Amino acid sequence: MNETSVKQPLFRMIKRDDVTKSQAMCVRLIAVLLSLIVCAAIITGITGESPVNVYLGIINGAFGNPNRIWVTIRETAVLLLIAVGLTPAFRMKFWNIGAEGQILMGGLVSAAWMIYGAEKMPNGILLVFIIISSAAAGMIWGVVPAVFKAYMNTNETLFTLMLNYVAMQIINYAIVFWEKPAGSNTVGIINSASKAGWFPKLLGGTYGLNVLLVLIVTILVTIYMRRSRQGFELSVVGESSRTAEYVKIDVKRVIIRTMMISGAICGLAGAVIVSGSSHTISTSTAGGRGFTAIVVAWMSQFNPIAMLVVSAFFVFMQQGAIQIATQFGLNENASDIITGIILFFMIGAEYFVQYKFRFGRKKEA
């Protein structure tokens, strides 16, 4: 129908109608390679080191010793968990950029249990409480903007964003009471001696339970999204709310229900971070992962395997960047720049998955 154009440009972008999965992967791979080259060029430019050394440093940082490997796995698991949590909301086209806040609230509740519940009950029961209540906290944090979205069409992007900072101040408030040592303005490692409320060692690794939990949730969410009636309903709502109404789906209910799930998983991620790895709480407990996970979920197109791969890749680059930062005397924020560059390339690649260059005049439709 677009017959208004007069001048035929030298090249045009046309929509690919039949992108195969392998073609799409190809485009994305090219983007990753390009981003790696650009990153290496920048690091080389700054440090004067050869790119080969830079990448060896990155690999060393991510996989250099068993401890580093475990850290890489742990971080991947957390990022994956958050991305999985965001998936139902995004499938419904609900822009939950409040994962940071939901994680913080989950983490806060976990820390509270660790502090107040220690030595009052067996560790196993404490852990159960931690997991359930952290999910509940995240759920509450997620459902508030959903209710307003459902009934008043309040912009969820800005609402969830603001709630992140409300959550941060609540954390700051809690730190006042939990401060240890006094005057440090940090909570310190909670229960460092008794390890009450810490995830136990499992499967031979410190972070075994983290991995197990994340795997379970990932599988459950995948099944929920692909096989359950509720998952189907939320997909329909995301695609077209008119069609949803046509088949008599209660759109308001679906929005609220979906955000409860999304928020709960992000809250659980808070527990995995606090009880499962950092054993402390601060405003940087979420550390921007709530935002990175958005990009992970968006790029993976809700495919759990793709999410795992993308999460692993980001964490690999970040851990690597931390290593080269120390190795070459840079500061650790280099990893954010690298993450940013990779993000730009991979985001841009999505366009080229959908469109391709076509030179010359268009054929008559």
Partner 1 sequence: MSAIIIFIQQAVGQAVAILFGASGEILIERSGNLNLGIPGVMYMGGISGLMGAFFYENSTENPVPFVGFLVSVMAALIASAIGGLIYSFLTISLRVNQNVVGLSLTTFGVGFGNFFGGSISKLAGGVGQISVKSTASAYTATIPGLSKVPVIGEIFFHYGVMTYVSVIAALILSWFMFHTRTGLNLRAVGESPATADAAGISVMKYKYVATVVGSMISGLGGLYFVMEYLGGTWTNNGFGDRGWLAVALVILALWKPVNAIWGSFLFGALYILYIYVPGLSRGQQELCKMLPYVVTIIVLIITSFRNKLENQPPAGLGQAYFRENR
Partner 2 sequence: MNEMNAIELKNITKRFGSVVANDHVDLTLKEGEILAILGENGSGKTTLMNMLSGIYFPDEGQLFVHGKETVIRSPKDSFELGIGMIHQHFKLIPIFTAAENAVLGLDKDKKGGIAEVNKKIQELIDKYGFDLDIDRKIYDMSVSQKQTVEIIKVLYRGADILILDEPTAVLTPQETEKLFAVLRNMKANGKSIIIITHKLNEVMEISDRVAVLRKGKSIGTIETKDASVDKLTEMMVGEKVALNIDRSEPVDPKKCISVSGLSVRNREGVRILKDISFEARSGEILGIAGVSGNGQEQLLEAIAGLQKYESGEIKFYDENGNETKDKLISFVPEDRLGMGLVGNMNIVDNMMLRSYRESKGLFLNKTGPAEVAKKIVDSLKIVTPDLKTAVRRLSGGNVQKVLVGREIERNPELLMVAYPVRGLDINSSYVIYNLLNEQKNKGVAVICVIEDLDVLLELCDRIMVLSGGKVTGIEDARTTTKEKIGMLMMDSGKGENE
**Contact characters 22-51, partner 1, x per CB under 8 A:** ------------------------x-----
| 148 lies in the site for partner 2, by CB under 8 A | no
Residues 232-291 that bind partner 2 (CB under 8 A): 232-233, 235-236, 239-240, 242-243, 245-248
Tell me whether residue 42 is exposed, middle or buried, using C-beta atoms within 10 angstroms of its C-beta: 0 to 12, 13 to 18, 19 or more: middle
Find, among 160, 130, 126, the residue nearest to 145 by Cα: 160
- How far apart, in whole angstroms, are the C-alpha atoms of residue 1 and residue 27? 29
Tell me if 8 contacts partner 2 by CB under 8 A: no
Q: Does residue 203 touch partner 2 according to CB under 8 A? A: no
3-class DSSP assignment, residue 8:
coil
CA distance 139 to 98: 11
Which residue in the set 10, 152, 182, 203 belongs to the binding site for partner 1 (CB under 8 A)?
152
Query: Which of 120, 246, 336, 362 forms a contact with partner 1 (CB under 8 A)?
Result: 336
The nearest distance, CB 3 to partner 2, in angstroms, is 5
Nearer to partner 1, 228 or 284 (CB): 284
Q: What whole-number distance in Å separates Cα of residue 147 and Cα of residue 156?
A: 10
In contact, 143 and 263? CB cutoff 8 Å: yes
Beta carbons within 8 Å of 350's beta carbon, 6+ residues apart: 299
Cα-to-chain-centroid distance, residue 131: 19
What is the smallest separation between the CB atom of 92 and partner 2, expressed in angstroms? 13
Cα dihedral: 283, 288, 289, 294 (round 10)? 130
The answer to the question of residue 227 lying near partner 2 (CB under 8 A) is yes
* Chain residues in the site for partner 2 (CB under 8 A): 3-6, 17, 227-233, 235-236, 239-240, 242-243, 245-248
* Chain residues in the site for partner 1 (CB under 8 A): 1-2, 46, 95, 97, 148, 152-155, 157-159, 161-166, 168-170, 172-173, 175-177, 288, 291-292, 294-295, 298, 329-331, 333-341, 343-344, 347-348, 350-351
